[in-house]
Structure 1
Amino acid sequence: MARQFTLKKCVTAFSNVRMQEYFEARKIPIGIDLRHVAEEDTKPIIDAIGALPPDARAEVERDFQDAFSLGDEGGLKSILAEADDLGNDLTDHLSRIDGHEDKALWTLIHSPDAFEAARTWRTVETLNFRRHRKDLPKAAPPCDDHVKEKLSKALVAFFAKEARGRYCEVDIFVRDGSADPVTGEIKGGRTLYCAYPEDYATTDIGYDEHGKRKRRTRRTAFEIIFQYFHDEGRLSLYAKGDKKRALALQRIFIDQVLDMEIPFDLRGDRVFELDGLKNPSMAFPTPPEDGVEYVLLKSLRLSIPGEPGKRITIEASGNHNGNSSLPAQNLHAFLQESLDQEKMPLDRYRVTHATMQVKFPGKGHRGSVTFGITWPDSCSLRDEESHMRIKQYLKDWSIDRA
């Protein structure tokens, strides 16, 4: 989960020595020597940052927010992994620095490439990749400069039809998989292709360095992320737009990066199979070491193939009260009561959406993950640790058929 940012939280979390090092490295005149300010006295530091020119203040706020977002155990692991991939072992340096936030800020100053890669992966963990394609080569895709250029040019041409996307930069980040201790097979590798096409011009109202209000025109970029899972041959997409656009963007990736031509019908994107959820006896086993308290099936949406618009949604209500099977039993009982199976047997219906809940250890709602799966290729799970565990459960339960 992303850490909530405020400037005061950052100034409190970072040591004065580390912030002084940051301002000196960035050549931003802060007006005071932070080494002579008491650690608990945040006001003069916040005031000094607030007095900076708008562009410098925005740079500080952005950098502090990024470093703060990586200032925890998960962020440190990501920083060390990315630095190692770049051939830069930061373990010794970071072990001499107290506090996860200071370690992150030090990395921003001294190893910006590792920091940017770690920041990107942390951001990806918060996104919903809702479109998937599974019938692709089970291998690491190419990620050289030639591929970046091909993908960039193809996206520029695609968005030119919408009178935008004149420029498009592509960044690529790779996470190698790990060897299976038994088979030696490499599993779990992922590659990110982050594209930033130029968006339409926007106008906003702001203030210049003299405090005068001005209208400013900006050309921002929007984000498209392709995530490729090496050992699954799966392509996941993060992009705004409907399914038609998603298919077009997938086609661009497959053409330009994988250099393949494949038919774009529904067979390739049937990642999730939900019909088994109609069975009230379907079990949801999880590894004992994960400490899962319960798995709930909270809702089902059923549709009749060939008859668009005709669908039924069944929801479980009430409190489980520690009985993990009760809501599922209620849901299936209500399902049986609601359908006239003499006219339309249950096996004629297709489950096109399901809502589930997995409860990991934690008091109250802590540790609870509620998510939706839509047939054939959409899921609201993200890439943070607990969500990644659930993605593996979906495979174990034969819901994810990739």
Structure 2
Amino acid sequence: MALHYSPRSVLRHLPLPLIRAFMSHEGITPDALARPAWDALVEGDTGALHDAWRKLPPDRREPFEQMMRQVHELASEAGTRQMIAEGPHHRVELADTLAGIDGFHAKALWVYTYHRHVFHTARQLLAAGCPMGRFWNLTTGFDDVPFDATPGALTNLRQAVAFLYREQGRGHQCSIEQYERDGALYVFLFVDDYTHTHTAHDVRGTLTRTPLRPTFEVVYVYTPSGVAPNGVGTLDLYARGDRRWRAELRERFCEHVLHTRAPLADPARRSYHLNGLIDHSFPLTTDPARGVLSAVIRKMRVVAREDMTRRVVLEANAARTGDVYEMLDIHFPVERFPRDELLVSMVTFTIMHTPPDGDRARPLTFDVSFPDACNLKSLSPAHREVGEWCLRQWGILGDDEPGDYGGGDDGTDGGPAGAHRAA
């Protein structure tokens, strides 16, 4: 999961010569008011650099901030590996160059500056290669089904998806991008959304309201059985909206790209997706009206992506809210262990709840393990109902539709760029 973004923290990790190179490459020059402060900058003075950035004219400050946000998303070991792996597809070898650049943020900025297409493709593929979150859906059971990525097949898919969304008054325009990597197919569709009113200040500081028709993403990641780690073909689908639309989108892909029907799924399949819990801000929603008063994490088992056999169990003081995250920061400092390199494989929750016929709150403690283990089934029906309600609210229990990663109504989330699969 991406770390929290703030301009000052990003600037702290970017070398001044590389920032100057980026500005020169992009034609971003300070005006007369900002230039004295900018010319006087010295390496390591983050405060002065932050002030100089803030004083840039809006038309120059905003692309600078866009760069910082996107660079921050790829500033990790996983992001660096993805950029290096993407380079050869654009006839660029990056490994030796990036090895000589210190710091993940600096590596990402160098690629952003000099190989923008490599950067943006790597950013898309990294997010799509780690699908987890409210609007991701997994379908398994594609036994040795090849994909058809010819222009005709992809055009048919684009037109079918656009036609589907036109029923909602969206989808008037739709663009498609596809990438074949390591035997898997990644397809990104950018679909016109409803018209919004964009309110912003123009370069003169005047508040303006402008009609804006943004796009939203539909993402497919198809992994044939021949290259899948467990030998089972899978289709990951990202699409905001209710389940009916996701089912329709899945069928469109199967029809036009796989030339088959989606396999039937096991209706009894359950899955638990825990990796979002690595983030301090993960919301453990409660509802006093239902008797659910509070929820804390008492225990968390953490593993590293690079070696799944090594794991650490953090057992917190249940009386201290957030104690498990204090332990996580102590034993896994962010600078040494980027959060997108860690996975959560087991969690113990304690919920304080008041039974419908009770007069005082009682604790309910249960364990959940990735991918499909939970001891709620050994508890009373009343306790099981409370626990499962919480897991569904939190997007952890995915049993409403086979393969669903949780949630299902329209809304917003971090999107493909902020999502990662629990492995």
TM-score by length of 2: 0.64
Please point out which of 214, 227, 242 is paired with 2:208.
214
What is the aligned partner in structure 1 of residue 139 from structure 2? Answer: 133
CA contact (8 A) 1:133 1:271 kept: no
> Identity rate of aligned residues, in percent?
20
Pair 1:5-2:5 in alignment: yes
1:384 and 1:256 map into 2 onto residues whose CA distance is 28
Q: How far has the Cα of 1:127 moved from its partner?
A: 4.2
Look up the SS of the partner of 1:116 in the other structure. Answer: helix
Pair 1:378-2:404 in alignment: yes
What is the aligned partner in structure 2 of residue 281 from structure 1? Answer: none
Amino acid at match of 1:141: F
Look up the SS of the partner of 1:133 in the other structure. Answer: strand
Q: How far has the Cα of 1:256 moved from its partner?
A: 2.0
Name the CA shift for 1:134/1:173 in 2 (closer, same or farther; >3 Å). Answer: same
Please point out which of 51, 59, 65 is paired with 2:63.
59
1:227 and 1:84 map into 2 onto residues whose CA distance is 21
The 5 A counterparts of 1:37-186 are 37-124=41-128, 125=130, 127-128=132-133, 130-138=136-144, 141-176=147-182
Q: How far has the Cα of 1:23 moved from its partner?
A: 0.7
CA contact (8 A) 1:298 1:328 kept: no
CA RMSD, Structure 1 to Structure 2 (Å): 4.0
Amino acid at match of 1:98: D
What is the aligned partner in structure 2 of residue 273 from structure 1? Answer: 269
Please point out which of 305, 309, 314 is paired with 1:289.
309
Q: Which has the higher contact order (CA 8 A, sep 6+)?
A: 2
1:63 and 1:89 map into 2 onto residues whose CA distance is 22
Q: How far has the Cα of 1:257 moved from its partner?
A: 1.7
**Superimposed CA distance per residue, residues 144-196 of structure 1 (whole angstroms, 9 cap, x where no aligned partner):** 444433222222222222222111111223331xxxxxxxxxxxx53221111
Q: How far has the Cα of 1:259 moved from its partner?
A: 2.9
Name the CA shift for 1:109/1:164 in 2 (closer, same or farther; >3 Å). Answer: same
Amino acid at match of 1:88: V
Unaligned runs of 5+ residues in structure 2 are: 226-231, 272-302, 314-344, 351-361, 368-372, 408-415
**Superimposed CA distance per residue, residues 97-151 of structure 1 (whole angstroms, 9 cap, x where no aligned partner):** 1211111000011222221122113333364254233343535523344443322
Unaligned runs of 5+ residues in structure 1 are: 177-188, 276-285, 300-314, 321-326, 340-351, 357-368, 390-402
Look up the SS of the partner of 2:365 in the other structure. Answer: coil
Amino acid at match of 2:65: E
2:376 and 2:166 map into 1 onto residues whose CA distance is 52
2:177 and 2:99 map into 1 onto residues whose CA distance is 30
Name the CA shift for 1:93/1:355 in 2 (closer, same or farther; >3 Å). Answer: same
What is the aligned partner in structure 2 of residue 242 from structure 1? Answer: 242
Larger-gyration structure (1/2): 1
CA contact (8 A) 2:175 2:191 kept: yes
What is the aligned partner in structure 2 of residue 252 from structure 1? Answer: 252
Name the CA shift for 1:30/1:12 in 2 (closer, same or farther; >3 Å). Answer: farther
1:242 and 1:135 map into 2 onto residues whose CA distance is 23
Amino acid at match of 2:169: A
2:124 and 2:420 map into 1 onto residues whose CA distance is 19
Look up the SS of the partner of 1:372 in the other structure. Answer: coil
2:251 and 2:420 map into 1 onto residues whose CA distance is 31
2:200 and 2:419 map into 1 onto residues whose CA distance is 39
CA contact (8 A) 1:205 1:214 kept: yes
Q: How far has the Cα of 1:296 moved from its partner?
A: 5.7
Amino acid at match of 1:202: H
Look up the SS of the partner of 1:134 in the other structure. Answer: strand
Amino acid at match of 2:14: F
1:205 and 1:145 map into 2 onto residues whose CA distance is 39
CA contact (8 A) 2:398 2:404 kept: yes
Name the CA shift for 1:35/1:107 in 2 (closer, same or farther; >3 Å). Answer: farther
TM-score by length of 1: 0.67
Name the CA shift for 1:210/1:254 in 2 (closer, same or farther; >3 Å). Answer: same
CA contact (8 A) 1:298 1:354 kept: no
What is the aligned partner in structure 2 of residue 334 from structure 1? Answer: 380
CA contact (8 A) 1:20 1:35 kept: no
Name the CA shift for 1:139/1:99 in 2 (closer, same or farther; >3 Å). Answer: farther
2:417 and 2:267 map into 1 onto residues whose CA distance is 17
